[in-house]
């Protein structure tokens, strides 16, 4: 399952069309969850806020992650048992209980 934010990111990929994306997700047996609950939004906001605080405390400058990353992490934490990602470090701190698949 992927959340609507993942769907939007995949759709933004060069050369991707809504038809191709729908076909690909269907063939991979991946559902799209377009309904995002208050608890997911809250979890994303909390994790993003903690991330911003860590960045400020480390004096490393502006944030490098987008809020969308935290929406994806919060959605996976609540609605899935794992998250497939090319960047597990990105999700490890904010969602420590989430099983990450690199």
Ranges under pLDDT 70 in the chain: 60-63
Host H or E run for residue 33: strand 32-33
Does this model's pTM top 0.85? My answer is no
> Is the dihedral angle over the CA atoms 10, 11, 17, 19 positive or is it negative?
positive
Domain ranges within the chain, ordered by starting residue: 2-101
Q: How far apart are CA 35 and CA 19, in angstroms?
A: 21
Per-residue pLDDT at 65: 79
Q: DSSP letter string over 39-56? A: HHHHHHHHHHHHHHHHHH
């Amino acid at each position: 399952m992927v959340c609507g934010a993942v769907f939007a990111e995949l759709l933004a990929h060069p050369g991707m069309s809504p038809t191709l994306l729908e076909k690909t997700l269907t063939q991979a047996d991946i559902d799209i969850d377009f309904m995002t609950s208050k608890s997911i939004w809250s979890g994303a906001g909390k994790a993003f806020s903690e991330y911003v605080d860590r960045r400020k405390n480390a004096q490393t400058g502006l944030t490098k992650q987008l809020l969308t990353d935290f929406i994806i992490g919060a959605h996976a934490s609540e609605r899935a048992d794992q998250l497939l990602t090319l960047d597990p470090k990105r999700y490890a701190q904010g969602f420590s209980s989430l099983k990450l698949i690199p």
